[in-house]
Amino acid sequence: MAFQGSLTGNLGKKPELKTFDSGKMKVELAVAVRQQNKDAEAHWVQVDLWDKSAQYAADYLNKGDSIFAQGTVTEEKFTRRNGDLGFKIILQYARIELFKSKETKPDPTQGREYVPSNPQPTPDPEPAVKVVETLVPEIDEIPF
């Protein structure tokens, strides 16, 4: 059974682009999702991105970046090395937004620091990936 879901979390490692013989590209993001309590254990979710979104993720996302992702939630079962049955949650065909980056990447065509305002090379009515400013205010900025 699959359903739509969304999450906010931090990348656990630098995205690695996989290219298949068919020419399709895929990135599997490892995203740590925590409850509101920072001391709570993180839950790891795999976020699958394809083609243009995968290329963008490989080029601009880094370990520690905070993202919002939305897509189809599925569960995959597997057997651990010790023989126990395990499962992982996967958010497939996801759209992501970068909330906060640990670093900015240089734009090779300009030779200066660059944070893309539109990561899609061609304008789409609804881009699969977009970069936004941090939407959650810092603790000191909350007016109450």
Residue 65 pLDDT greater than 60, yes or no: yes
Q: Residue 53: pLDDT above 70? A: yes
Q: Domain containing 129: what range?
A: 3-141
- For residue 118, is pLDDT > 90? no
Query: So what's the pLDDT on residue 5?
Result: 92
Question: What single DSSP character describes residue 51?
Answer: H
- Phi then psi for residue 74, to 5 deg, are -135, 170
Greatest Cα pair distance, the chain, in angstroms, is: 56
Q: Read off φ and ψ for residue 51, nearest 5 degrees.
A: 55, -120
Contact 50, 25 (CB under 8 A): yes
Locate all alpha helices (DSSP H) within 1-144, ordered by sequence: 51-60
Total structural domains within the chain = 1
Q: Is the pLDDT of residue 59 over 50?
A: yes
Query: Which is more confidently placed, 116 or 93?
Result: 93
AA letter at 1: M
CATH number at residue 123: 2.40.50.140
